[in-house]
Structure formats: C-alpha cells, structure tokens
Amino acid sequence: METITLLQPDDWHAHLRDGSALKRTVPDLAKQFARAICMPNLVPPVKTVDEALAYRERILAHVPQGLHFDPRMVLYFTDQTSPDEVAKIHASDYVNAIKLYPAGATTNSDNGVSDIRKVYAVIEQLEEYQVPLLLHGEVTHQHIDIFDREKRFLDEVLTPLLRQFPKLKLVLEHITTSEAATFVLEYDRNVAATITPQHLLFNRNDLLVGGVKPHFYCLPILKRQSHQQTLLEVATSGNPKFFLGTDSAPHARHAKENACGCAGCYSAPTAIELYAQAFDQVGKIERLEGFASHFGADFYGLPRNENSITLVKEDQVIPTALDYLDGEQIIPLYAGQTIAWRKV
C-alpha cells in the first residue's frame, strides 16, 4: 500500500465562525492542521488586535485534548482601519495579516473596503512593516459577469496597487483562473497565492451540469476546466508562491440548499486528503509536502512544523452529513463520494 509522510500541514485560509460553530470547525481543522489563518469575517467582523486575541481564546477553548493547534489571526480591513493598527499587528505574536474584502464581494463582506484608493495610507504601513495583505480578489460591480470578476480585479485593482507599492507583501486568496496564476508568477516573491481543494478538483460543470449543486457553490465561483488545469499545474509545480489555503467555509445545510444559497464549501474534515487526491490525479503526490507544509510558513516568516502526518492510499468515503450548530447539519465537500487517500 502506498504511504506518504509529510510535515504536518497548515491551512493558510479557513473560516471557523464563532459560538457553537466552533464545536464543529475547530476539531475538524485541528485534527489535520497545526496552524490555520482564521478569517475575520464574523458578525461583527474582527477589526482590532484586541478583538482578534479574544476570538483566538474562543477558538482555543474548543481544541480537543491532546491536540496542539495554533490559530493565526487576521484583521478585517474596513474603510475606517487606522494606519496605526498595522504597527500593532506587527508587534503581535498571534496576528499575522489583514484581510481585504471588497465591500459586497462575499459572505459578511458588507463592512469591507469600498474603494481601495481610500485606504492607501494603511497599505503604505503594510508595505513598510511587511505585514501581509490578504485579498479577496474580485471586483463587485453589478454589471461585471461573475466569471470575469477575478480577472477584472487583477487589471483594475491589483496592477495599480503593486505599481504604487511594489514591495507590498500580499496573498491573492483562493485563485481560480489562469490569469491569476500567471499574474502571481510575473511578480517577485512578495506576491503569493493560496489554492483551495475545490478549485483543484472541480470546475463549473460540477456545479451546473445535470442540475445546480449548491454544495459546489463558493466564491470566487468555480471556473472552466482549462483554469482548473492551470491551477493544478502551478500547485504541483513546486513553486513556493503557491500554497495551501482551504477556504473551508461552513454554512448549515438549509442555508446552502436554498433558493438563495450561501457561498462556501466545507472541506475542513478531509482537506489534506482532498489535496492528496488532486495531486495524485496528476501524478505529483511528491509535491504535496512543499505546497501543504513548507511554502506558506516560509512566506509568513513562521517556522515550519516539526511533527509529521501520514497518508495512506486507501479508499475513504466522505460522510454524507455532519452535525453542526446544535441540531443542524452541514454537508462536507464531496459528501458521499469516495476518495483514494486517508490520513492515519
């Protein structure tokens, strides 16, 4: 039986939510990952270092006994974020970055930035302190086609931003297109990207052919197969600019299976196996460790983990549903399907 051992991976983009959701999300993530970037799009959002530290304590209270899990925190960028907050992030042991959602781009992004040029004073400080800016890279104008929103962001927002701040450290989160992959490759080491399991394993046919599959609906939306192919190429290339970020985003079953379904795929319980499946499908399983366990830590300037995990090539059926929010259900990504890898 084929077996691989990797340094324990980290998830550089995860949504854990708050309150009783943490009973589900924290153990699921902590069983797989040593660290996770905990996204700040709560209601209300996590806007200051003090709020992030309080949220971190609420997360830590749900780490199962015997597991070591180190939540890495992120602030939510608003039009009101003070340039002085950046020095506080830089000085903090637990807050690693700031996340910019264009207002209206996705779940709980109403308090996001309305126009990036209005917050250049904060971005100047980010460049100065080398604090990473994490970007949801989609424009939000109503008239722009949902499948073009990432590309338009590159042209209209990111290119001018990097012209003004060429040394800014940034992560283009959950990239979905060939254009985004090429963009990241064209810049220096300060520009990196995360890639989700759903964007490596699926494309818009999985979402739409034969009926709408709401559990494949996430933002940025799944694109055509040629983009999926490019993402697989760059993720498995060994290039350290691309690393693991699941964007695991829990929504209760009824909120997904709904006339106006929420965006987000819940991949946390089997995320590393889903990535193993994707890497193995293109014959590159040996490239998984760099992507999952080295490159993100290196980018953030954090030490690599020291303990290991083992994956075996053995069929695993993903559960059809899991308990969530005291009496509700959540449907994990690829529910009921069989994947070829299992974490031991």
Residue 247 in contact with Zn ion, rule: CB under 5 A:
yes
Minimum distance of Zn ion from residue 249's CB (angstroms): 6
Q: Which residues have a Cβ under 8 Å from the Cβ of 191 and sit 6 or more positions away? A: 162, 170, 172, 183, 184, 241
Interactions with ligand DOR, residue window 12-31 (CB under 6 A): 15
Structure tokens at 107: 């779940």
Total of chain residues touching ligand DOR, rule CB under 6 A: 11
Q: Which residues have a Cβ under 8 Å from the Cβ of 167 and sit 6 or more positions away? A: 127, 130, 190
13 marked as part of a ligand binding site:
yes
User: Could you say which DSSP state residue 166 is in?
Assistant: T
Between 137 and 176, how does the x/- string for binding to ligand DOR read (CB under 6 A)?
----------------------------------------
- The question of whether 247 is a catalytic residue gets the answer yes
Residue 312 burial (CB < 10 Å; 0-12/13-18/19+)? Answer: middle
Q: Which residue is nearest to Zn ion (CB)?
A: 247
**Which amino acid does the sequence have at 85?**
E
- Cα gap 263→257, rounded to integer Å: 11
Minimum distance of ligand DOR from residue 164's CB (angstroms): 25
Residue closer to ligand DOR (CB basis): 69 or 101: 101
Task: Name which of 241, 149, 232 is nearest 193 in CA terms.
Answer: 241
Minimum distance of Zn ion from residue 21's CB (angstroms): 15
Select from Zn ion, ligand DOR, none the partner in contact with residue 218, using the beta carbon and a kind-dependent cut-off of 5 to 8 Å.
Answer: ligand DOR
**Which amino acid does the sequence have at 249?**
A
Select from ligand DOR, Zn ion, none the partner in contact with residue 41, using the beta carbon and a kind-dependent cut-off of 5 to 8 Å.
Answer: ligand DOR
Minimum distance of ligand DOR from residue 332's CB (angstroms): 14
Residue numbers belonging to the annotated binding site for substrate: 15-17, 41, 136, 219, 251, 263
